[in-house]
Structure 1
């Protein structure tokens, strides 16, 4: 019996968030941008596409991020939620070391120089 490798996916709000996360990663992970909002039909497509993958939600610690997070919790409860410290508010502006520690806490490989 062969083992199927589970792919990891991180969902972020914007391109600057994606760039920040890619900067600290040490493993190949798909990163999907919602561009701040996501329609119900797009959410359904995502859920179908991401079935059997490890999905992580990493959004800003602000009102828009909270709304998006609530939508994912409601529509895609299997996803794991990663949180940045509220003092940084945005994924894109949080220090690399903070993003790395958040990702590492979810067993996602990060570049050791950010630890």
Structure 2
């Protein structure tokens, strides 16, 4: 069964690609999701193992609710609220989130603080 991760934007997708050590299809909602796109994905992804990793904000919650109705078996992944956005989450934290969801991830050292 193919694994698919839905994220909000291109930067989120690029960030995940830095961490993943296995082939995973990454789809972008580009911040919003229409009813048509939701239905299209529901049909397209019915035989896939689908994960959702969106920002910890109102836009992310709207996408989460919308896709949860169309894809009831979707697996919800969360970035830590302190980072708010997937794109600004340190790579080692993303690796932990994905590893916990049984994805193969690259070994990444904790990022040094930029203070």
| Pairwise same-fold verdict (TM > 0.5) | yes
**Matched position secondary structure for 2:50:** strand
- What CA RMSD, in Å, does the superposition of the two structures yield over aligned residues? 1.1
Structure 2 spans left out of the alignment, 5+ residues: 111-115
Q: Provide Cα deviations, 1:14-56, integer angstroms capped at 9, x if missing partner.
A: 0000000001000000000000111111111111111111000
Q: 2:30 aligns with which of 35, 48, 59?
A: 35
In the superposition, the TM-score normalised over structure 2's length comes to 0.92
| Runs of 4 or more consecutive aligned structure 1 residues displaced over 4 Å after TM superposition | none
Q: Please tell me whether residue 15 in structure 1 is matched to residue 10 in structure 2.
A: yes
In the superposition, the TM-score normalised over structure 1's length comes to 0.92
- Tell me what 1:72 maps to: 67
Q: Please tell me whether residue 84 in structure 1 is matched to residue 79 in structure 2.
A: yes
How many residue pairs get matched?
110
Structure 1 spans left out of the alignment, 5+ residues: 1-5
- Tell me what 1:3 maps to: none
